[in-house]
């Protein structure tokens, strides 16, 4: 599933990046070589990041 249509960021890629790196959605987008464009995806991206980090911590 795509999290960010503007940058074609897939959920699996965002989850993998969240496992390896700290920071918020904007920081992780930077790790993926892009930055938010329309910014409509950031809330969903933050939810995915929080979910992934909670799974790793458990």
User: Which pLDDT score is estimated for 57?
Assistant: 76
Tell me: domain 2-57, CATH 2.60.40, correct?
no
Spatial distance between the Cα atoms of 44 and 25, rounded to a whole number of angstroms: 9
Average pLDDT over residues 29-56: 96
CA angle 46, 44, 56 (to 5 degrees): 45
14 contacts: CB under 8 Å, gap ≥ 6:
3, 25, 28, 32, 45, 48, 49, 52
pLDDT at 18 over 90: yes
Average pLDDT over residues 13-30: 97
Beta carbons of 28 and 21 less than 8 angstroms apart: yes
**Residue boundaries of the structural domains of the chain:** 2-57
């Amino acid at each position: 599933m795509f999290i960010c249509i503007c940058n074609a960021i897939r959920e699996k890629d965002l989850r993998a990046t969240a496992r390896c790196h700290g920071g918020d959605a904007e920081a992780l987008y930077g790790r993926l070589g892009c930055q938010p464009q329309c910014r409509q995806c950031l809330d969903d991206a933050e939810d995915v990041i929080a979910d992934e980090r909670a799974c790793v911590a458990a």
